[in-house]
């Protein structure tokens, strides 16, 4: 078994696009860890979508061997995702390490997420190796970036490495610093097995491959293991390491990072953050920090046509094997037919699921407007959680409504502070908590804001306001009482659940008016006049009428503004034309997407 003093386990803290994957590529080359013929750019980003979007979604570890002062060290690098939706995975990757490389793009500076993750690393007692990347760029602002790092972690400027992951300049210094500055892991091979699950991947042929960091004890083929949060037991079929390709080993011991295959059927049975121990000699306590992760954003997904329902269901089931955070359950909407109510970690996660469905399973879906989960105190004293506007109880049954709040942090050049403040404070019910300087001419602003206000278009707005310079991160704070109200839509006096939406009181009238107007444009004329009404507070708050049909206008009724989302449905063409009959009114599916667009236009 490897001497723990010759092991270093590290992760990389970097904002999206700051060059983490490129750095790992260079390290693999430098240490000749990958056969040059197999080496291709962004070796670690294995999923197609990751490569195309250039973002890391799944953490992929790699073990390299490095000669330093006549000793051979084993360095395990855990490549972590940088996006806010996947923060929990980042925090678990950190728990598997003793050190972290803090990598900052010299042309961008320290971003909000980097700050959040750096503090997380400090909390986890990780030793930091700070590096400024992309020093080869003409617009690299190396000194400025160094100052921002000094502000962040208070280290000496001489301790900040300057590298170019692209050209390889300075990369060796990073490896040396890892050996010198990061402490080796501790662990006792005689103690019962304690292995932290920091990721899991589903493989068609082999079932779930669990990525682990061993803290105490050891694990080998034939051992019976126990997943501590569920109590489930499995027999180990194989253990191994990442080279980065998977390579079987006899066993895994203290300090090591590797994988276990044990006939686990889906990733949900071996969740990130959980502890694996030996079934015969179990550890008495799991590793700290495990928490059940709950989705933050919900939306319904429909296939458009009933024929595609089964296919959608099967595809979601397959996706779930590999995406432990994806939640879904069957739902039915009189308007859109059978579908699924889905829960996601955030909007990016939602987008990735949609895209994977389209790309890997070739199934286009209609997604309804995303919303958060509300907590409702009923008049009878009971409490319930509701994430589907259609399932909101009647107003007279509600005593109080609570909605989730987050602490939002934004790093921005000081020029945009005013506009960001105005947008958040005036339009999104946010409260500025405080501001701090984050280097020269840059400010970090902290807000308390309802999650619902930032899940639709906020990120895009922030980018627009700041010309792409501001970055954000958020953490969940808790539920607070709130004045939100459900707007129900009645078409020809019939309520249409799929069109209902939850909004804050201050926007109820505006949104209601926009909704009825939009629907009156999208729904074709009929032989009779159709009233479209928006109802809230037990009364009608907005109304528009569709006039009865004159003979010559039918032809114009379909077309409409075909959105990007509808274009994606090209494959299911028939579905596009299909109209739903509700209270004798035929409603095109486009109309159901109107809610989504109104939501985007709220601000």
Q: What are phi and psi of 103, to 5 degrees?
A: -110, 120
Is 431 labelled a binding residue? no
Residues 381-410 that bind ligand GTP (CB under 6 A): none
Is 20 labelled a binding residue? yes
Interface pattern 20-49 for ligand GTP (x via CB under 6 A): xxx---------------------------
Number of H helices and number of E strands within the chain? 16, 33
Strand partners, 581: 586
Is 346 labelled a binding residue? no
Work out how close the CB of 49 gets to ligand GTP at its nearest, in angstroms, rounded to a whole number.
11
The dihedral through the CA atoms of 487, 489, 490, 494 has a sign that is negative
Burial class (CB in 10 A: 0-12, 13-18, 19+), 559: exposed
**Smaller CB separation from ligand GTP, 56 or 412:** 56
Is 136 labelled a binding residue? yes
Is residue 523 within 8 A of residue 496, CB to CB? The reply is: no
Work out how close the CB of 139 gets to ligand GTP at its nearest, in angstroms, rounded to a whole number.
10
Question: In this chain, which stretch among 11-19, 153-161, 480-488, 498-506 interacts with ligand GTP, using CB under 6 A?
Answer: 11-19
Is residue 191 within 8 A of residue 178, CB to CB? The reply is: no
Contacts with 244 (C-beta within 8 Å, 6 or more apart), sequence order:
28, 33, 34, 43, 44, 60, 61, 62, 63
**Smaller CB separation from ligand GTP, 141 or 589:** 141
Residues 157-176 that bind ligand GTP (CB under 6 A): 164-166
Binding residue for ligand GTP (CB under 6 A) from 56, 60, 303, 368?
A: 56
Work out how close the CB of 568 gets to ligand GTP at its nearest, in angstroms, rounded to a whole number.
24
**Smaller CB separation from ligand GTP, 133 or 412:** 133
Count of residues that bind ligand GTP according to CB under 6 A: 19
**Smaller CB separation from ligand GTP, 19 or 389:** 19
Binding residue for ligand GTP (CB under 6 A) from 136, 232, 251, 497?
A: 136
Work out how close the CB of 105 gets to ligand GTP at its nearest, in angstroms, rounded to a whole number.
8
Binding residue for ligand GTP (CB under 6 A) from 16, 110, 241, 498?
A: 16
Is 22 labelled a binding residue? yes
Q: Which residue's entry shows tokens 């006039």?
A: 547
Contacts with 123 (C-beta within 8 Å, 6 or more apart), sequence order:
none
Q: What are phi and psi of 505, to 5 degrees?
A: -45, -40
**What is the distance, to the nearest Å, from the Cα of residue 121 to the centroid of all Cα atoms in its chain?**
19
Is residue 389 within 8 A of residue 376, CB to CB? The reply is: no
**Smaller CB separation from ligand GTP, 152 or 208:** 152
Should residue 585 be labelled a site residue for ligand GTP when binding is judged by CB under 6 A?
A: no
Task: Render 74-138 in DSSP notation, one character per residue.
Answer: EEEEEE---SGGGHHHHHHHHHT-SEEEEEEETTT---HHHHHHHHHHHHTTPEEEEEEE-TTST
DSSP state of 287: P
Contacts with 116 (C-beta within 8 Å, 6 or more apart), sequence order:
87, 409, 473, 475
Should residue 411 be labelled a site residue for ligand GTP when binding is judged by CB under 6 A?
A: no
Q: Which residue's entry shows tokens 């895994």?
A: 252
Work out how close the CB of 87 gets to ligand GTP at its nearest, in angstroms, rounded to a whole number.
13
DSSP-derived pairing of the beta strands 127-133 and 99-105: parallel
From residue 221, alpha-carbon distances to 250, 289, 433, 540 in Å are 7, 27, 53, 67
**Smaller CB separation from ligand GTP, 50 or 599:** 50
Contacts with 394 (C-beta within 8 Å, 6 or more apart), sequence order:
none
Largest CA distance in the chain: 90
DSSP-derived pairing of the beta strands 127-133 and 161-162: parallel
Should residue 14 be labelled a site residue for ligand GTP when binding is judged by CB under 6 A?
A: yes
Question: In this chain, which stretch among 12-20, 62-70, 236-244, 515-523 interacts with ligand GTP, using CB under 6 A?
Answer: 12-20
Q: What is the rounded CA–CA span in Å between residue 341 and residue 330?
A: 6
Residues 283-302 that bind ligand GTP (CB under 6 A): none
Should residue 351 be labelled a site residue for ligand GTP when binding is judged by CB under 6 A?
A: no
Binding residue for ligand GTP (CB under 6 A) from 7, 10, 13, 18?
A: 18
**Smaller CB separation from ligand GTP, 75 or 593:** 75
Work out how close the CB of 79 gets to ligand GTP at its nearest, in angstroms, rounded to a whole number.
8
Should residue 17 be labelled a site residue for ligand GTP when binding is judged by CB under 6 A?
A: yes
SS3 372: coil
Binding residue for ligand GTP (CB under 6 A) from 19, 268, 346, 450?
A: 19
Question: In this chain, which stretch among 128-136, 264-272, 548-556, 584-592 interacts with ligand GTP, using CB under 6 A?
Answer: 128-136
Should residue 108 be labelled a site residue for ligand GTP when binding is judged by CB under 6 A?
A: no
Question: In this chain, which stretch among 134-142, 221-229, 452-460, 482-490 interacts with ligand GTP, using CB under 6 A?
Answer: 134-142
Work out how close the CB of 554 gets to ligand GTP at its nearest, in angstroms, rounded to a whole number.
49
Is 304 labelled a binding residue? no
Should residue 93 be labelled a site residue for ligand GTP when binding is judged by CB under 6 A?
A: no
Should residue 468 be labelled a site residue for ligand GTP when binding is judged by CB under 6 A?
A: no
Known binding residues: 17-22, 133-136
Known binding residues for GTP: 17-22, 133-136
Interacting residues toward ligand GTP by CB under 6 A: 14, 16-22, 54-56, 82, 133-134, 136-137, 164-166
């Amino acid at each position: 078994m490897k001497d723990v003093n010759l092991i270093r386990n590290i992760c990389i803290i970097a904002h999206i696009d700051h060059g983490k994957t490129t750095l790992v590529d260079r390290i693999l080359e430098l240490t000749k860890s990958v056969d040059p013929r197999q080496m291709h750019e962004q070796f670690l980003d294995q999923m197609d979508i990751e490569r195309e979007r250039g973002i890391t979604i799944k953490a992929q570890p790699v073990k390299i061997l490095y000669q330093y002062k006549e000793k051979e060290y084993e360095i395990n690098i855990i490549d972590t995702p940088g996006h806010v939706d996947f923060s929990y995975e980042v925090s678990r990757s950190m728990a598997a390490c003793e050190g972290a490389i803090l990598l900052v793009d010299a042309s961008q500076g320290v971003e909000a997420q980097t700050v959040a993750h750096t503090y997380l690393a400090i909390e986890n007692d990780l030793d930091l190796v700070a590096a400024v990347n992309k020093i080869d760029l003409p617009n690299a602002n190396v000194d400025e970036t160094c100052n921002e790092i000094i502000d962040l972690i208070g280290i000496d400027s001489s301790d900040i490495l300057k590298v170019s992951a692209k050209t390889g300049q300075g990369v060796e210094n990073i490896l040396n610093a890892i050996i010198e500055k990061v402490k080796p892991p501790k662990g006792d091979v005689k103690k019962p097995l304690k292995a932290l699950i920091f990721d899991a991947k589903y493989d068609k042929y082999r079932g779930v491959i669990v990525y682990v960091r061993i803290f105490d004890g050891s694990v080998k083929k034939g051992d019976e293991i126990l997943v501590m949060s569920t109590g489930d037991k499995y027999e180990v079929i194989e253990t191994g390491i990442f080279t980065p390709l998977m390579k079987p080993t006899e066993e895994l011991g203290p300090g090591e990072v590797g994988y276990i295959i044990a006939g686990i059927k889906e990733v949900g049975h071996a969740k990130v953050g959980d502890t694996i121990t030996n079934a015969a000699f179990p550890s008495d306590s799991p590793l700290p920090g495990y928490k059940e992760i709950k989705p933050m954003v919900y939306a319904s997904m429909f296939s458009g046509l009933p024929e595609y329902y089964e296919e959608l269901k099967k595809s979601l089931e397959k996706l779930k094997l590999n995406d432990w955070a994806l939640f879904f359950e069957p739902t039915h909407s009189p308007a859109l037919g059978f579908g699924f109510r889905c829960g996601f970690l955030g909007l990016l996660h939602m987008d990735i699921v949609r895209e994977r469905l389209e790309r890997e399973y070739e199934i286009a879906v209609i997604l309804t407007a995303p919303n958060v989960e509300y907590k409702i105190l009923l008049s009878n004293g009971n409490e319930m959680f509701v994430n589907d506007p259609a399932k909101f109880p009647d107003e007279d049954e509600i005593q109080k409504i609570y909605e989730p709040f987050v602490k939002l942090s934004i790093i921005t050049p000081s020029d945009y502070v005013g506009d960001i403040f105005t947008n958040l404070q005036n339009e999104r019910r946010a409260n500025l908590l405080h501001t701090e300087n984050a280097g020269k001419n840059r400010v970090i602003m902290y807000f308390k804001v309802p999650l619902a206000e930032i899940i639709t278009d906020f990120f895009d707005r922030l980018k627009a306001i700041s010309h792409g310079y501001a970055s954000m991160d958020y953490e969940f704070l808790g539920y607070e009482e709130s004045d939100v109200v459900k707007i129900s839509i009645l078409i020809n006096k019939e309520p249409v659940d799929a069109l209902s939406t939850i909004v804050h009181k201050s926007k109820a009238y505006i949104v209601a008016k926009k909704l009825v107007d939009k629907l009156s444009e999208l729904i074709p004329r009929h032989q009779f006049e159709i009233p479209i009404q928006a109802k809230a507070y037990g009364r009608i708050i907005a109304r528009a009428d569709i006039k009865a049909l004159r003979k010559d206008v039918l032809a114009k009724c379909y077309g409409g503004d075909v959105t990007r989302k509808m274009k994606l449905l090209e494959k299911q063409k028939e579905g596009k034309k299909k109209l739903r009959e509700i209270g004798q009114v035929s409603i095109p599916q486009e109309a159901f997407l109107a809610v989504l667009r109104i939501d985007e236009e709220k601000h």
